[in-house]
Amino acid sequence: MVEWTNQSRYNSFNSYKGLAYYEFYKSLVLWMDGKGELPPPVEVNLDPIAVCNLRCYFCNSQRYLKVGETRELPIGYILELVGFLAQWGVKGLCISGGGDPSLHPRIHEAVLLAQRRGLQISFVTNCVHLPLDLLNALMACRWVGVSVNAATRETYHTIMGRDYFDKAVNNLKSLVEMKHETGSRVDIGCNMLILPENVGEIYQTCRLAKKIGAQDFHLRPADLERKDYQGKLSSFDMADIEKQFALCHEETTEDFRVFTTTHKFAPDLRVMHQFKQCLASPLILPILSDGNAYLCVDHKMEQRFRLGSGQDILKWWGSDKHRQLIKGVNVEECSRCTLGEYNRQIEDAVILDGMCLAFP
């Protein structure tokens, strides 16, 4: 299926950008063989708070989100961490959720400090809560992804568990307006996960994102094959989905890009693994609201993948324990792999040298 226009082939959702990390890949493979050191991650994924204002039944954080329980990182810890990451050599900081990061009362300070320290920042939010200090700070981001997931209040309420559709849409509009007022270069994207309840609103949601003024519309299947998900799997009418995808791509202009990202999934949108080993996880280091770092962004808060305290990164990063955790991963026990294509690139381009890189 077409995932983006030819003019937009160099985009954040195209996993072939992983080939830009080829030198990292080489160092990683050597380190896995016990040679050399592991470079710092390209990106750190920070979950500053484990609280959410929605109750999405498909949420991949539901296994550790408890209603009525607040767990947030102290702002002093976060600011110290941001300074360290910049000094260590990390390039990107994605502030996202085991909950929604907008609910951390001082997260805007981290965004602004990261900008001053030269980090590229991204921010993922449901946009239900958007105080003015955070709205202003988000103009310093490289991109902001807003999870809307529906085109109507009724569908939004059904899948997100709360009747906050109007609030989310209005806050998304405020983001767009602030971007134009300030001249910020932030990319504002409207995100949609394909679910049984919203599959009939794909094109409508795309039109809504365009009408609001978002620069990007990003669509991908939800991962409902996780072990912690208790619901039933549904099969999709792929002919109808492809028809809606095509209509979405027709909405593409110079100011509005559509990304129907499906290459990490099988043709029926089920989980697909085209690699044998978990090797790419060190590209992204998740640091969560309990103050600890974990091996993989797809296994957050799983104690078997806990690496250590975020305050002691240099003590365990690149250690034998780190290496053995990676070697011990059975990819067949994983559901969706965020870094699946990167894993395949390491196997094909580095280990097998399938591209014959010595010959331009």
Mean per-residue pLDDT for 273-284?
95
Q: Cα(324)–Cα(341) distance, rounded to whole angstroms?
A: 22
DSSP string, 249-266: HHT-BTTBEEEE--TTB-
User: β-pairing, 292-294 with 306-309?
Assistant: antiparallel
Q: Cα(344)–Cα(331) distance, rounded to whole angstroms?
A: 12
For residue 71, name the pLDDT band (cuts at 50, 70, 90): confident
pLDDT exceeds cutoff 80 at 62: no
Burial category of 10 from C-beta neighbours within 10 Å (exposed 0-12, middle 13-18, buried 19 and up):
exposed
pLDDT exceeds cutoff 90 at 29: yes
> For the chain, what percent of residues have pLDDT higher than 90?
85
Closest CA to 163 of 171, 153, 173, 151: 153
Q: Cα(68)–Cα(28) distance, rounded to whole angstroms?
A: 41
pLDDT exceeds cutoff 70 at 310: yes
Mean per-residue pLDDT for 83-87?
97
What pLDDT score was predicted for residue 225? 84
For residue 85, name the pLDDT band (cuts at 50, 70, 90): very high
- pLDDT tens track for 163-174: 999 999 999 999
What pLDDT score was predicted for residue 223? 86
What pLDDT score was predicted for residue 67? 56
Mean per-residue pLDDT for 59-88?
85
For residue 68, name the pLDDT band (cuts at 50, 70, 90): low
What pLDDT score was predicted for residue 262? 94
Half-sphere exposure of 118 (CA within 13 A, CB side): 8
pLDDT exceeds cutoff 70 at 128: yes
What pLDDT score was predicted for residue 354? 82
3-state secondary structure of 121: strand
With beta carbons less than 8 A apart as the criterion, state whether 115 and 121 touch.
Answer: yes
How is domain 6-351 classified at the CATH fold level?
TIM Barrel (3.20.20)
Q: What is the pTM of this model?
A: 0.95
Residue scoring higher pLDDT (58 or 259): 259
Give the strands of the sheet with 43-46, arranged side by side.
Answer: 257-260, 216-221, 187-194, 143-147, 120-125, 92-95, 43-46, 284-287, 292-294, 306-309
pLDDT exceeds cutoff 90 at 122: yes
pLDDT exceeds cutoff 80 at 5: yes
Residue scoring higher pLDDT (97 or 217): 217
* 314, containing H or E segment: helix 313-316
pLDDT exceeds cutoff 90 at 135: yes
Domain ranges for the chain: 6-351
What pLDDT score was predicted for residue 247? 98
- pLDDT tens track for 222-253: 988 887 777 767 789 999 999 999 999 999 99
Residues linked to residue 260 through DSSP beta bridges, in sequence order: 219
Residue scoring higher pLDDT (332 or 132): 132
User: β-pairing, 187-194 with 120-125?
Assistant: unpaired
**72-81, 189-198, 329-338, range with the lowest pLDDT:** 329-338
How big, in percent rounded to 5, are the helix, strand and coil portions of the chain? 40, 15, 45
| Nearby residues of 207 by Cβ (< 8 Å), 6 or more positions away | 151, 251
